[in-house]
Amino acid sequence: MLAYRNKLQYMKKIILPVVLLAVITTAGFSQLTVPPDGGNKKAVVEERIGITDVTIHYDRPGVKGREGKIWGQLIHVGFADLGFGTSKAAPWRAGSNENTTIEFSTDVKIEGQPLAAGKYGFFIAYDPNECTLIFSKNNTSWGSFFYMETEDALRVKVKPVSLDKSVERLKYEFMDETDNSATVMLLWEKLSIPFKVEVDLDNLQFESFRRELRGKRSFSPGWQSYHQAARYAADKNKNLEEGLAWATQAINDQFVGEANFQTLSTKADILAKLGRINEADSIMKKALPMGTMQQIHQYGRQLLAQKKYKEALSVFKLNYEKNPNQFTTLMGMVRGSSANGDFKTALKYAEQALPLAPNANNKNNVMTMIDKLKAGKDVNQ
């Protein structure tokens, strides 16, 4: 037993220094976190287009006094053998250091060409007249030294645009945003390279509704989820039958359904757009007594926009009877009467509304209406 303990102590004396040496050696060759080589700054820019997230990771080289020597010199024209790696015809890496990557959370169109959702290596074959943008399935390589054309997911051509002022550090920006598109622009020195990203927002939105309404959103926060989907269908005048089903669930679902002004009026709106006018009118008769002053007023304004002037006046009258001598309901009577050509009655209500105006902007608006009515003009025009 004593011999065994002596042997064990001897082994510890030998093994422990060896392990410590291995740890020290490994640590000696590891790298600590430091800024990228050459002072190129890492950056990420992200924007949501509709419900699609677009994310660009890149490194930002600087001009560093090389004005006039960037494009066509530092950044080679077309494809070139960079003297390292496996590619003999490499584009520019659209930044510095690792791959510039661009990621789309849904399918998109780039300059009108379809590209599936995913993360891509982004390269540019620069040309002063027309640049080739490359979206590669390989997004993990170092720069473009290992670029392979066979991994291309998409190529599009765009024209570079000259800039008046020099941009010291390369950057990407989102410009010209709309509900379903944006222009992504690379800017460096006195040149920009723009490309348009578009999404099929309505179809993506409907797909998202269908998916979410099969999960926790089907019962939380309640009727609001079904109503939101139905309201979108009504506002876009698309997928109305599906929207009608959502509207019905918002009212009648045994767990979350609730008959209120919002749910009922949205269902009525969809029914009207489907040509089922009698059903729509019947539901609105139930909805109106449930509405707040503002909800009823906005519904009246909606009817005015649809040029349903008699129906609008009827709604404004109901609101006035329910909420008499309020600025909002008085203004409803002004608009409703004026839309139906009764300028005298409209003027009477406008003069009553003037001293009740809640702020200077409203007061000026009423005074403008009074002038129009005295001149025999419709205040809704």
The CATH code for residues 213-291 is 1.25.40
pLDDT of residue 229: 97
DSSP single-letter state for residue 114: E
Q: How far apart are alpha carbons 290 and 215 in whole angstroms?
A: 30
**Percentage of the chain surpassing pLDDT 90?**
86
Tokens of 336: 């409703």
pLDDT of residue 208: 96
| pLDDT tens figures, 303-337 | 999 999 999 999 999 999 999 999 999 999 999 99
pLDDT of 109 strictly over 80: yes
| pLDDT tens figures, 63-80 | 999 999 999 999 999 999
pTM over 0.85: no
325: CB partners within 8 A, 6+ apart: 352, 356
**Sheet bearing 100-104, strands edge to edge:** 41-49, 52-60, 100-104, 118-125, 131-136, 152-158
CA nearest neighbour of 264 among 310, 218, 223, 219: 223
> Is there a shared CATH topology between the 213-291 domain and the 306-381 domain?
yes
pLDDT of 12 strictly over 80: no
- Type of residue numbered 370: I
Q: How far apart are alpha carbons 349 and 370 in whole angstroms?
A: 10
pLDDT of residue 231: 97
Length, in residues, of the chain: 381
Backbone angles phi, psi at 288, to 5 degrees: -55, -45
Q: How far apart are alpha carbons 338 and 329 in whole angstroms?
A: 14
**CATH 1.10.287 for domain 306-381:** no
Q: Domain coordinates of the chain in residue numbers? A: 37-199, 213-291, 306-381
pLDDT of residue 345: 97
Mean pLDDT to the nearest integer, 41-56: 97
Tokens of 195: 């490309």
DSSP single-letter state for residue 112: T
| pLDDT tens figures, 117-154 | 999 999 999 999 999 999 999 999 999 999 999 999 99
Tokens of 321: 């009877």
CB-CB contact of 378 with 338 (8 Å): yes
Q: Where are the alpha helices (DSSP H) in the chain?
A: 2-29, 201-212, 223-236, 240-252, 261-273, 277-287, 293-305, 309-322, 327-339, 343-353, 360-374
Residue 156, Cα to own-chain centre: how many angstroms?
Answer: 23
pLDDT of 265 strictly over 60: yes
